[in-house]
Amino acid sequence: MIELTVHSTGLNSHYDLTDTIADSLREHGAGDGLAGVFAHGSTIGLTVMRYEPGAVQDLLRTLERIAPESPAGVGRYLHELTTEDPNGFSHLKSSLLGTSLLVPFRDGALAMSPSHRVVLFDFDLKPATRRVFLDAPRTAAPAPHTDTVTEKSL
């Protein structure tokens, strides 16, 4: 398993991990298949998107409408009342976006549209060092022999 480190600045920061993921998979001898990407934390999220300022702001605004930092008419999130941690909205945004992805990897590259990027979002209030784990099939060594499968009658 491969571990990446992201030094996040916190609230609503975002990081394009696409090239780092592709380079890491290539360096570790990943073969063709689906690469698993997992962001370790409950206040961060992963997505595949067109990574440009308008799309980023649209996503952040949409998530803010669904899980605002200060919920109107409610006061505080129940998470904040039970933990005294003022980041209930961060956990909701992470849950909405998700913390894991599968991305196709073929011929030493991510098999995605050139305009699509793997992006990590951090919704927490403070800077933190974030960990992202990658796992993918290794390039298989040639098999020493080949088995033949035959049909058996019942």
pLDDT tens, 31-41?
899 999 999 99
What value does the mean pLDDT take over residues 125-149? 79
Return the bridge partners of 4, or none: 132
Cα distances (Å, whole numbers) of residue 16 to 9, 33, 64: 14, 21, 21
pLDDT score of 151: 74
Asked if 1 and 102 count as a contact pair (C-beta separation under 8 A), the reply is no
Distance CA 87, CA 6 (A): 20
| Local confidence band at 141 (pLDDT 50, 70, 90 cut-offs) | low
Domain 2-135 indexed as CATH 2.60.120.460: yes
pLDDT score of 111: 95
pLDDT score of 150: 67
Q: Where are the domains of the chain?
A: 2-135
* CB atoms near residue 24 (< 10 Å): 18
For CA atoms 112, 115, 116, 121, the dihedral sign is positive
Structure letter (DSSP) for residue 28: T
Distance CA 117, CA 48 (A): 5
Q: Is the pLDDT of residue 17 over 80?
A: yes
pLDDT score of 41: 97
Contacts of 142 (CB under 8 A, 6+ apart): none
Asked if 75 and 20 count as a contact pair (C-beta separation under 8 A), the reply is no
pLDDT tens, 87-134?
999 999 999 999 999 999 998 899 999 999 999 999 999 999 999 999
Distance CA 45, CA 94 (A): 5
pLDDT score of 81: 87
